[in-house]
């Protein structure tokens, strides 16, 4: 037996030294986790943030031509009950005229076209539009029922959106995003 061999290496049985190495290593791991846990735990979202993951909005009082802005995940969300004229105006626009031909609707496949119907609340709810109210250029909040297409207009840099929230003119690269949402009833929309 050389002077560097341990008892366990020569006989194959654990020694007291092996046990001490193992327990010291385990104590170090437990200590490191107990020190790190408060830092890891503080990175989790708090209860108020988790509560905003999904909201329900009663839209029963919103008549055609009226809008409502709610806050969801720290961003404004535009909810509009469009008039039949606004729905028809959105439906009549050929996709070839659009700056961004993608729907940007989280409820549809990523490559869905930006038709008036694919930007709306869905079949039977074409008059409803729900969009994150943040300009896709620099995040400003556009003004509703403004601009050349009577949709939304961002006065900061001149982005113009139509009645379906599709970018038509200006520096914004994409249509206003549509979050996940669903009608829980005829008068309640769940966002998120």
Using one digit for the tens of pLDDT, what is the confidence trace for 143-154? Answer: 898 889 999 999
Residue 158 in tokens: 């001149």
Of 4 and 65, the structure prediction assigns the larger pLDDT to 65
pLDDT of 17 above 90: no
For residue 22, give both structure tokens.
């193992």
Q: Domain-by-domain residue ranges, the chain?
A: 7-41, 50-191
Segment 174-186, tens digit of pLDDT: 999 999 999 999 8
Helix H or strand E encompassing 88: helix 84-91
134-140 contacts at long range (C-beta below 8 A, 24 or more positions apart): 134/75, 134/76, 134/176, 134/177, 135/159, 135/172, 135/176, 136/167, 136/172, 136/173, 136/174, 136/175, 136/176, 136/177, 137/170, 137/171, 137/172, 137/173
List phi, psi (to 5°) of 168. Answer: -115, -35
* Average pLDDT of span 113-128: 89
- Give the residue numbers annotated as catalytic, written as ranges: 157
Between 14-28, 54-68, 75-89, the lowest mean confidence (pLDDT) is in: 14-28
- Over residues 33-74, the pLDDT tens digits come to 788 777 777 777 666 665 558 899 999 999 999 999 999 988
Average pLDDT, integer, range 109-129: 90
- Give 33 or 89, the one with higher predicted confidence: 89
Identify the CA nearest to 145 among candidates 92, 81, 96, 101. 81
Mean pLDDT of the chain: 86
Query: Rounded mean pLDDT of 117-133?
Result: 90
Q: What percent of the chain has pLDDT over 90?
A: 55
| Mean pLDDT calculated for residue range 99-120 | 92
SS in 3 state form for 4-49?
A: CCCHHHHHCCCCHHHHHHHHHHHHHHHHHHHHHHHHHHCCCCCHHH
What dotted CATH number matches 50-191?
Answer: 2.102.10.10
pTM, rounded to two decimals: 0.71
């Amino acid at each position: 037996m050389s002077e560097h061999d341990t008892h366990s290496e020569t006989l194959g049985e654990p020694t007291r030294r092996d046990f001490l190495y193992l327990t010291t290593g385990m104590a170090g791991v437990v200590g490191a986790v107990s020190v790190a846990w408060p830092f890891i735990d503080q990175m989790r979202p708090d209860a108020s943030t988790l509560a905003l993951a999904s909201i329900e909005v009663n839209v029963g009082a919103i008549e055609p031509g009226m809008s409502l802005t709610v806050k969801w995940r720290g961003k404004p969300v535009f909810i509009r009950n469009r008039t039949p004229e606004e729905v028809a105006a959105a439906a009549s626009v050929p996709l070839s005229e659009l700056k961004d031909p993608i729907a940007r609707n989280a409820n549809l496949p990523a490559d869905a076209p930006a038709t008036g119907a694919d930007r709306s609340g869905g079949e039977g709810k074409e008059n409803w539009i729900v969009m994150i109210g943040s300009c896709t250029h620099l995040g400003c909040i556009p003004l509703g029922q403004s601009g050349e297409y009577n949709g939304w207009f961002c006065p900061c840099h001149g982005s113009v959106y139509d009645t379906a929230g599709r970018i038509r003119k200006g520096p914004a690269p994409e249509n206003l995003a549509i979050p996940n949402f669903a009608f829980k009833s005829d008068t309640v929309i769940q966002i998120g």
